[in-house]
Structure 1
Amino acid sequence: MRNAVLAALIACLSTSAIAQTAPAPKSEEKETAAPTRQPNVSVTRHGGIFGGQRLNYTATAGETFLRAEDGTPRAAIFSVSYVKEPRDPNRPVTFLFNGGPGSGSVWLHMGAFGPKRVAIPSDGTDDGAPPYPLVDNPDSLLDVTDLVFIDPVGTGFSHALGKTEPKEFWGVTKDAQSVAQFIRLWLNDNGRWNSPKYLGGESYGTTRSAAVVNVLEGAYNDVSLNGIILISTVLDFAAGADTQGNELGPILNVPSMAATALFHGKAEASSIEGFVEEARQFAIGPYASALLKGQNISPEEHARIRRELARFTGLSEAYLDQANLRVEPARFYKELLRDRGLTIGRLDSRYTGRDYDNAGETPDNDPSFYGIDAGYTAAVNAHIRDALKYKSDRSYVTIGNVQPWDWQIPGGRDANAYLNVTPYLGKALRENSGMRIFVGQGYYDFATPFFAAEYALSRTGIPQDRIEYQYYGSGHMMYVRDDDRVKLSRDVRNFIRNR
């Protein structure tokens, strides 16, 4: 008996020692062998008041494996789904993501449409240090649609698996194919193939939306959509490129410069809407005509355009002369408030910052990004790990380095010399009579200027009667301003209800 007990004790001690000394997997690195584990998923149940309605919902935070044809897992896509209880297979569902490329869905999730949000300053000031309030979000869209927040590969907790290289998912078309595959799997798993479906993206997420709808509806086994929600839109990259010789860039930036100059007291007008409309007409008319003439412009026309451009931009005529009437956005951020020793933000030009010195040509950093990023990072980790009970030793990637990104799209040399995904939306609208597009733009957004979005979506081949535009008194993430978050929620809610 003593020998048997002694043998058992030795066996237990040996097992314990092995468990303590075995090397733990490096969770931050791509897994080097095909995983045998199942997707990591957490399911919790909650309740809240959204759009004035009290309802219960199930939150599912976890991985979905994208598999090769032979069944080998290639990637784990992390998502958070909020589904109203009791479940209704005919209820709308909206798939949402942010942009980058390389951004997790944290911004739309924790700022605009999720059931909880982070409360940071609404007036364009820095979010400071923690703790950051995590509060109920009555502006969530859960009263009208179930919500699925998607993190593409390389963002959030999503990552490549086995021997698959992450770059196999990093590209306009590759990324769209992986997101479309996830959407099909989610519809399978949740029995929602006949639900009304919406796709929503912000920033590069609007580019992704166009590419994804082309994958979803571009084949015979298509997934038909009821609507696409574009927030801070970028579709035509060639038109908005800030590069020498491209005259469309300066033209499309003028209305945003006018709005910003007015906000900071560098221009005068009775209303932002009226001043912006004046700037649109100047930009697309006299200013465009002048720039297209290049060095053949007459001295008289040059002086006339310089005077009007100074009125709209708040910059001096002497500076505009030195810039040859073409002001790059980065120079504008530094020059507009140089006399006050301040720079302005790129994502939201309401924000101001102070550089190391006042002599530079461009800002040291973007005060509208470092003014919000800490609060959102803390909030998404606290919400997913604590409230949703999702356990992972991976870091949640809010903004990741998804390089090299493949910017090629089908169409050969000419299509890729002029990178523009707007035709995908035109085709989808022409071939799906029930689909509509919502466009939400901030006046103070230089990352994706509102006039550039209007330009792209007004081209030939895009039905205009099913596109709705809404504007907001803030920038790229318009929902950081309380009044605009309420308006955005109301506008998108009405867009979904009016299907």
Structure 2
Amino acid sequence: MPPVKEAAAVVHRQWTTQGKTLSYTTTTGHLTTQPLTGGNAASMFYVAYTLNGEQTAQRPVTFFFNGSIGGIPAVFLNILGWAPIRMRANTGTPAHPVYPVGPSPDSLLDKSDLVFIDPPGIGFSEAIAPAKNRDFNSLDSDASAFRDFISHYMAVNHRTDSPVYLYGESDGAGRAAVLTRKLNAIGMPPAGAILNSPATGRYEISCTPKYDPERFYSCAARVLMAAAVSHYYGLVGKGIPQSQFMNDVMKFTHDVYLPQEAEALKKQTLLPDETITRLAEYTGFDKKQWQKVPVYWDVVASPVDKWISLAHLDCTDFNNRNEGTGDCPSTGYDWRKIQDEPSAHLPQMKNLYRYAQNIYASLLGYSSVSDYALGTQKSGEGWRFDTVPVWADAMKDNKKLRILTISGYYDEMAPFYSAMLAFSDKSLDASRIWTTVFEGGHQTYLTEQSRPGIRAVIDRFYDAGAAANSNHKFFQIPFESAGVTFRSE
């Protein structure tokens, strides 16, 4: 597209949270990136929620972006997550859905101004000629566009003294790592990075059954996911509180299973019989199936055609996901039954974008002659990588950078234990990293009972950044109220 005006729709509203009524401004529009290194320019669409009457020099600005290899807009984190308005689950029928939209008491707006950004070629964002959208397909060019947007946004809104926070979801965690390094380099170091269901490049979905001391292969995350789902449905750990049960399984997995798995893969042997017995007890799976692990992980690798039958759950309606009903696991985003998975009761992706476009027009005063572009995975370079060394470099360059990870028990795409293992790496400063786990799947914030607890943790994260002692120590969050933390010594 040719150069565009940086016009925006501005709406003033009030929002009530914790007994306080606050006035805020919503700004919806485009900013043209100002390439700092001779790169391509883009007109990037954003929605900003800013609190009125605050001392902006001390007030944080948090920039939100989704993931899926760069190809998903921030609409999920926006109108389904942390904005002061939120779309709720269907109150109608599958045939005639009704998705109420109204104020959200769980927004993060009382702690930080919120800016939701769509990458070039996604949503309403577009490359500016002569550049094309595909020029932003690589992670490096994508992160450069976000860097240029953030620096421009902070300048034109006179916020250059405000603390910067990044909130990346899924593969957005990889973008956040590279983006942090780029912001460090231009003298705008982020105060913190909040990583929701982070893809780390370690111990993840592929669950590759091979031994390689130079790589980070492990299928341990599947042990914990299977245990969590089985406990959710009362198949294991009967009478034991979830907190106690999952802590027991994590200790077993970390202290017993992990080292034995590495040894078994190295020698291509099976696990000790005692370990197999405990795996069966913790997961509800048949002991005969576990006898083939870890060399033949495919026997428990797929939740769709393995987990339900092994856990003895009825699975009769897998193909009826759009109805929000059924006994089978929903997707890799959540291992629970479809009927228990929150996103099944919200608009599916194509319809969600249509609803979002209507919300932008009716509530935020923004309309466009273009359709809100569907997210598609970018095919460029660099999106799948080991993020830990990048975070280690970023933390060395930025001594005040802190990291908070938020994961869901039932998420296969970015398993919670994978994040725990990755961010407990010895190359990282553990005193500046908080890892948490909540009830839920990949989009953890969609789970109604978890969102207040997630917000409480994020609030503490912001408060610690504002404290005089920037080296706030790692703390233990009470599991029952706000998640569970993990740190390997």
| TM score, norm. by length of structure 1 | 0.80
Task: Report what 1:384 is aligned to.
Answer: 360
SS at match of 1:349: strand
Deviation at 1:456, TM superposition (A): 0.6
Does 1 or 2 have the higher relative contact order (CA < 8 Å, sep 6+)? 1
**Equivalences for 1:404-419 in 2 at 5 Å?**
404-407=379-382, 419=385
Tell me, yes or no, if the aligned pair for 2:236 and 2:281 is still in contact at 8 Å. Answer: yes
Deviation at 1:107, TM superposition (A): 1.2
The CA deviation string for residues 153-176 of structure 1, in whole angstroms up to 9 with x for no partner, is: 132211223232222211222211
Shift in alpha-carbon separation, 1:109–1:295, aligned structure 2, 3 A: closer
**Equivalences for 1:193-232 in 2 at 5 Å?**
193-217=160-184, 219=185, 221-232=186-197
Out of 123, 133, 138, the residue aligned to residue 156 of structure 1 is: 123
State the Cα RMSD in Å. Answer: 2.9
Q: Does 1:347 align with 2:325?
A: no
Shift in alpha-carbon separation, 1:128–1:86, aligned structure 2, 3 A: farther
Task: Report what 2:427 is aligned to.
Answer: 461
Out of 350, 369, 390, the residue aligned to residue 393 of structure 1 is: 369
SS at match of 1:183: helix
Q: Distance in 2 between matches of 1:199 and 1:463?
A: 18
**Equivalences for 1:40-439 in 2 at 5 Å?**
40-67=7-34, 74-86=41-53, 88-90=55-57, 91-101=59-69, 102-120=71-89, 129-217=96-184, 219=185, 221-237=186-202, 241-245=206-210, 248-269=217-238, 270-292=240-262, 293-294=264-265, 296=267, 301-321=271-291, 324=295, 326-327=297-298, 331-338=302-309, 339=312, 340-341=314-315, 342-345=327-330, 346-352=332-338, 370-374=344-348, 376-397=352-373, 400-407=375-382, 419-439=385-405
Shift in alpha-carbon separation, 1:222–1:488, aligned structure 2, 3 A: same
Tell me, yes or no, if the aligned pair for 1:240 and 1:248 is still in contact at 8 Å. Answer: no
Q: Distance in 1 between matches of 2:369 and 2:398?
A: 43
Deviation at 1:473, TM superposition (A): 1.3
Paired AA for residue 306 in structure 1: I
Q: Distance in 2 between matches of 1:467 and 1:70?
A: 31
Deviation at 1:87, TM superposition (A): 5.2
Paired AA for residue 100 in structure 1: S
Deviation at 1:307, TM superposition (A): 2.0
Paired AA for residue 268 in structure 1: G
Tell me, yes or no, if the aligned pair for 2:203 and 2:221 is still in contact at 8 Å. Answer: no
Deviation at 1:407, TM superposition (A): 1.9
Tell me, yes or no, if the aligned pair for 1:233 and 1:448 is still in contact at 8 Å. Answer: yes
Q: Distance in 2 between matches of 1:325 and 1:285?
A: 22
Q: Distance in 1 between matches of 2:266 and 2:363?
A: 62
The count of corresponding residues between Structure 1 and Structure 2 is: 439
Q: Distance in 2 between matches of 1:195 and 1:295?
A: 50
Q: Distance in 1 between matches of 2:393 and 2:193?
A: 13
Q: Distance in 1 between matches of 2:381 and 2:342?
A: 28
Higher alpha-carbon Rg: 1
How many percent identity over aligned positions?
A: 26
Tell me, yes or no, if the aligned pair for 2:90 and 2:345 is still in contact at 8 Å. Answer: no
Deviation at 1:148, TM superposition (A): 0.5
Paired AA for residue 468 in structure 1: W
SS at match of 1:248: coil
Shift in alpha-carbon separation, 1:384–1:226, aligned structure 2, 3 A: same
The CA deviation string for residues 95-148 of structure 1, in whole angstroms up to 9 with x for no partner, is: 1111112111111111221010011169xx997743210011111111121110
Paired AA for residue 63 in structure 2: F
Deviation at 1:464, TM superposition (A): 0.7
Q: Distance in 1 between matches of 2:152 and 2:288?
A: 59
Q: Which moved more, 1:231-240 or 1:466-475?
A: 231-240
Deviation at 1:455, TM superposition (A): 0.6
Q: Distance in 1 between matches of 2:97 and 2:182?
A: 42
Tell me, yes or no, if the aligned pair for 1:110 and 1:376 is still in contact at 8 Å. Answer: no
Task: Report what 1:493 is aligned to.
Answer: 459
Task: Report what 1:13 is aligned to.
Answer: none
Tell me, yes or no, if the aligned pair for 2:127 and 2:133 is still in contact at 8 Å. Answer: yes
Tell me, yes or no, if the aligned pair for 1:233 and 1:441 is still in contact at 8 Å. Answer: yes
Q: Which moved more, 1:373-382 or 1:253-262?
A: 373-382
Paired AA for residue 491 in structure 1: V
Shift in alpha-carbon separation, 1:128–1:94, aligned structure 2, 3 A: farther
Deviation at 1:316, TM superposition (A): 1.1
Paired AA for residue 352 in structure 1: I
Q: Distance in 1 between matches of 2:145 and 2:336?
A: 36
Shift in alpha-carbon separation, 1:295–1:169, aligned structure 2, 3 A: closer
SS at match of 1:268: coil
Shift in alpha-carbon separation, 1:481–1:309, aligned structure 2, 3 A: same
Q: Distance in 2 between matches of 1:280 and 1:237?
A: 17
Which consecutive unaligned segments of at least 5 residues does structure 2 have?
316-326, 466-489
Q: Distance in 2 between matches of 1:495 and 1:322?
A: 43
SS at match of 2:76: helix
Deviation at 1:337, TM superposition (A): 2.1
Paired AA for residue 144 in structure 1: K
